[in-house]
Amino acid sequence: MTSTNSEDLALQYAQLVQQEEDYVDQLVTCNKLILDAMDIIAKQAGVLEMDTVKQAAYHLHSMEQDLNRKLFEVRLEKSILANQMSHST
């Protein structure tokens, strides 16, 4: 492999690292929102419209699952790219 190809792989890897960090940050935020929502439900369930609260909680959970899937995909691509990089030197 050429130097340019190695540089391209390194750039792609750096981009995946950044994506991974972004997804991890988003997951931390999402998890905090879920915990906050559960806390609100526990404290104020009697004064809230439960169907709406449940829908909101399910949307947060769905978002968390989507972020976990995206994070998995990025980590998988990073692993494949790391293997390619190890064979290009």
Averaged pLDDT for residues 73-83: 96
Q: What is the pLDDT of residue 5?
A: 86
- Label residue 3 by pLDDT band (50, 70, 90): low
Which residues are within 8 A (CB) of 82 and not within 5 positions of it... i.e. 6 or more apart?
13
Residue 1 has pLDDT above 50, yes or no: no
Domain that holds residue 44: 3-87
Convert the pLDDT of each residue in 4-31 to its tens digit.
Answer: 788 899 999 999 999 999 999 999 999 9
Q: For 17-75, how does the pLDDT look when each residue is reduced to its tens digit (9 = 90+)? A: 999 999 999 999 999 999 998 998 899 878 888 888 889 999 999 999 999 999 999 99
Query: What angle is formed at CA 53 by the lines to CA 51 and CA 55, rounded to 5 degrees?
Result: 70
**Overall number of domains in the chain:** 1
